[in-house]
Amino acid sequence: MKNQGKRDHDRGFGHLPWFLLLALLGVLGLAVVINVMNAMSIRIAYPLDLEWMEGAILLHTQRVIDGKSLYTEPSVEHIAFAYTPLYMIVLGGLSAITGLSLKLGRLLSLFSLLGIFIIMGLSLFRSLNPRRKLLPLLLTCSLTAMAAGLFLGDFLFTGAWLDIVRNDTLYLFLVFLGLYLLVENGDTLSGSLFSGLFLALAFWTKQTAVVFILAAGLYQLFSSPRMLPWLVLSVATITL
């Protein structure tokens, strides 16, 4: 019994360096998140365009508010971006509450980014299943901070576009949400339908979501083929 207890004790301490390493990486990830989010909080109230498309996106949104078509023959007055319209529709709907502004568009992107982080945490929580155990729970928090830090680590190097008036961050949030529901609940009817719904909405936010829709269909074909028709039906109903 003593030898067994000693082996368990040694085995527990043998994992300690890994826990410390993961904790350190989690702290570093959290530091990146805090630093970038602090920069975003300053940028959000900047009164001028942070990127050349911001003002044009607001003009597109104003056309939605005014009931005008986005996709018309190019003219001096309006040339449509080659994007699907959901971001502008959502932004136009929110503007009924606060008025249309650069700040509102940036807030929409920022809340979409926070939604992505929540999905990361939920995915890790479901995968590690920490429940009430302290160490797995701390590990989940550390890995979530690492994932968020890696996601934001190239913020400046890729154009600093996550917090601006563009459709990209809302699009990524909808993709993350659709894929999360597929992986976690794709073997159920509701999971397949809601996964298809959010992936279809991602398509209507940015058409490159079609790549993720095809990947989701392939995943469903092998993981839960009997639910594939429901996923296809959900996507097709919204996109066609």
| 19: DSSP letter | H
**Structure confidence by residue, pLDDT tens digits, 158-177:** 889 999 999 999 999 999 99
Q: Which residues of 31-54 are buried (b: 16+ CB within 10 A; e: fewer)?
A: ebbeebbeebeeebeeeeebeebb
Q: Can you give the pLDDT at residue 166?
A: 96
* Residue 78 structure tokens: 């309006």
Per the model's pLDDT, the better-predicted residue between 202 and 52 turns out to be 202
Q: Can you give the pLDDT at residue 51?
A: 92
Q: Is the pLDDT of residue 91 over 90?
A: yes
Contact 163, 106 (CB under 8 A): yes
Count Cα neighbours of 160 within 13 Å in the Cβ-side half-sphere: 11
Average pLDDT for residues 226-236, to the nearest whole number? 97
Rounded to whole angstroms, the Cα distance separating 202 from 127 reads: 24
Q: Can you give the pLDDT at residue 19?
A: 75
What's the distance, Cα to Cα, between the start and end of the chain in Å?
A: 67
Instruction: pLDDT band for 130, please (50, 70, 90 cuts).
Output: low
Contact 124, 143 (CB under 8 A): yes
Instruction: pLDDT band for 12, please (50, 70, 90 cuts).
Output: very low
Task: Return the SS3 of 155.
Answer: coil
Residue 82 burial (CB count, 10 A): 6
* Residue 215 structure tokens: 């990947």
pTM for the model:
0.89
H helices of the chain, in order, are 2-14, 16-43, 53-65, 86-98, 102-128, 134-153, 168-185, 189-205, 210-223, 228-239
Q: For residue 151, what are the contacts with CB-CB under 8 A and spacing of at least 6?
A: 116, 117, 120
Contact 37, 151 (CB under 8 A): no
